[in-house]
Chain A
Amino acid sequence: MRLPDELAPRALAYFSQILGRDLEDVTDLASLPAHDLLRLADLLPDGVLPALVSLLKGAGPGVFEKLLGDHEEENRSLSDRFFARYRDLVLEAIEDQEFNPLEAWLPPEACQDLAFLSSRQTFFLRQEIVHINEWMARHFGLGPYLPGSQLEAWNDLWSFLTRP
């Protein structure tokens, strides 16, 4: 996600206030030493971290090195904290065993679009057979399939959806 251009000046003004230093444009932000950039990130609320990352996009390879603390030991804890907070913010929580990815991301109505469906073949084949059985039975009345029969299930689904 990229921050809309009109929001960039407001974000920079906010960052300037937090850091106590004037940041007139993205170049000023990207030019901060690693320690200052990471200190800024540390002072920001979690919800603002994506805006910071968005502003840094395209600012050059040096920016990522700065987020790593420029490999300086004194920056390590700040860097680790930044990545941990940003990870918790942008990644899904690890799902429990009850979570069925097919139910979440392969809506049966979308399967009528065969181009879409074919783009999901590798995703389907990676799923556990218990989830495939649950999904196939609920939406198409197919199955059950034995463990390791993902490809057979896929072929049956394809045949079912393309039957005349």
Chain B
Amino acid sequence: MNSQTETSTETATDSELCPLFKVVLLDDDEHTYDYVVEMLCATCNLSRESAFRCAVEVDLIGKTTVFYGTLEQCKNRAARILAYGADPRLPRSRGSMKAEVHER
């Protein structure tokens, strides 16, 4: 009983010390592959190769995880994505892509 209590206490403490969240990018039809790659390199520090794989994933299945971190870090990255602006390559594009912060 005592050891079980200690174990659950340790787990809770680990979770508090290292909360893991993720930023999920959502698909739409207002942004090009080029935009996604450029934007993810700039906002999430992804390599061009990693950003391209994310672009393919969001295109194929509608969402992709682009960043892992603490809640604060993830909110910051999501805010950067939401502030990146429209895709200049597409005249119909009028805003940023959408991103959500999720618990892992």
Residues of A within 8 A of B (CB): 53, 56-61, 63-64, 67-68, 83, 86-87, 90-92, 101, 104-106, 110, 115-116, 119-123
Contact = CB atoms under 8 A, between A and B. Distances in A.
B61 interface: yes
A91 B56 contact: no
A63 B34 CA distance: 22
What 3 A-B pairs are tightest by C-beta distance, nearest first? A122-B85, A105-B88, A119-B86
Contact of A91 (B33, B62, B84): B33
13 contacts: A53-B59, A58-B62, A63-B60, A64-B56, A64-B60, A83-B56, A90-B33, A119-B86, A119-B93, A122-B83, A122-B84, A123-B86, A123-B88
Contact of A120 (B34, B60, B61, B88): B88
A70 to B, nearest CB: 14
Given A83-B53, A119-B93, A63 B61 contact: yes
Given A110-B91, A119-B86, A122-B85, A86 B59 contact: no
A120 B86 contact: yes
Interface of B: 33-34, 37, 49, 52-53, 56-57, 59-62, 83-86, 88-89, 91, 93-95
Contacts of A92: 34
A58 B94 CA distance: 25
B91 A116 contact: yes
Contacts of A122: 83-86
A67 B56 CA distance: 10
Contacts of B94: 115-116, 119
